[in-house]
Amino acid sequence: MAIIRNPLFYEYHTFASMSPEAKKNLHKGIQWGLDARRATIFFRRASVVKDALAKGETPAIKIFGDFSPNTSDHSVITPYHKQLESQKDNLRPGESIDNSLSHKAMTHNRGNLIEDFVAIIDIDAGGVDQGTDIIKLPFIPKELNYNSESTFVAVKPIGANNPRYQFTGAEDKLEFEIDWYSFDEDRRDVITNCRKIESLSKADAYTGNPHRVILQWGASDILFSAHEFIITSASYRLTQFSKGHYSSGGELKLTHMLPVQAYQRVTLSRITSANLSKVEIEYVEDTLYTRNI
């Protein structure tokens, strides 16, 4: 937990030349601020506990005490965890047996657009939650690199041989390479697709934020069914430039030195509207409820 200090705390230690009486008054002001903060926290906890008891529910917190990693009292946490575990195999919000769209990003009406291919789907194509744009990948990526990085800060108590670790946050990134190969006679499709993915990693000038995307992995869409991303990197390298080629009818087609192939390295960073629980992180969609296309 971050320690939020009153600005007067720094002033107290900065003005060493203050008179004893001034320091005493300053100390009183600091102590008053800390006492007021403690009282506010106390009354907030008491209000939450009172409301929960009035509804016949188990309070999520206690008025006194804390729930740091060192506590041995799990009486409040355990029932909630068991509740989540019991729901693990149930249908998720927005999901039904006929339609296994399992999270908010998947509730968009894609209709018959779901086919057995890999695609990056822009879910903000017409504005936030307004329409979708499907970018079909020509080949299945050879590998996926899912990087889950957690950040801990070492807190070293005086005299302790080993530090304590405070969890400060985490980040999940998915990296893979798209192999774009030209199927159009004018060879414009390769650079067009590269720049389309690139545009999703950036804002729309000053008028709009970068769009959110989901990664469809086949018709069943099990692998990333509960994942929503933003594209944070979309670098690419272009290869096999050609001035022109002969069509099947023997006609010379100019291609203006456009690339025949490109390799685009894409990084997707996972985003969520709420802090995921352990059960939600572990969740893998049950094949029993996947859509049969």
Which band of pLDDT confidence, cut at 50, 70 and 90, is reported for residue 271? Answer: very high
Which range among 8-12, 157-161, 237-241, 276-280 shows the weakest confidence by mean pLDDT?
8-12
Average pLDDT over every residue of 61-77: 48
Which band of pLDDT confidence, cut at 50, 70 and 90, is reported for residue 69? Answer: very low
pTM over 0.75: no
- Distance between CA 58 and CA 262 in Å, rounded? 57
Longest dimension (CA), the chain: 98
Which band of pLDDT confidence, cut at 50, 70 and 90, is reported for residue 83? Answer: low
CA atoms in the 13 A half-sphere facing the CB of 33: 12
- Reference 27, options 40, 11, 3; nearest CA is 11
| DSSP string of 157-170, one letter each residue | -TT-SS-EEEEEEE
- Distance between CA 154 and CA 164 in Å, rounded? 6
Identify any residues that bridge with 152 across adjacent strands, giving them in sequence order: 167
pLDDT score recorded for residue 20: 75
pLDDT score recorded for residue 175: 97
- Bigger pLDDT: 37 or 133? 133
pLDDT in tens, 112-170: 445 788 999 999 988 888 888 999 999 999 999 999 999 999 999 999 999 999 999 99
- Report the share of the chain in percent with pLDDT over 70: 71
Give the single-character DSSP code of 254. Answer: E
Which band of pLDDT confidence, cut at 50, 70 and 90, is reported for residue 105? Answer: very low
pLDDT score recorded for residue 249: 75
The domain spans of the chain are 7-54, 94-289
- Reference 220, options 97, 89, 100, 136; nearest CA is 100
- Bigger pLDDT: 256 or 120? 120
Mean per-residue pLDDT of the chain: 76
User: Residue 273 pLDDT more than 60?
Assistant: yes
Q: Which residue has the tokens 């390298």?
A: 237
pLDDT score recorded for residue 24: 75
Residue 40's Cβ-count burial label (10 Å; 0-12, 13-18, 19+) is exposed
pLDDT score recorded for residue 92: 47
pLDDT score recorded for residue 1: 41
191's tokens: 């650079």
CA atoms in the 13 A half-sphere facing the CB of 223: 12
| Identity at 229, one-letter amino acid code | F
pLDDT in tens, 172-229: 999 999 999 988 888 889 999 999 999 999 999 988 899 999 999 988 888 998 899 9
Which band of pLDDT confidence, cut at 50, 70 and 90, is reported for residue 18? Answer: low
- Distance between CA 224 and CA 218 in Å, rounded? 10
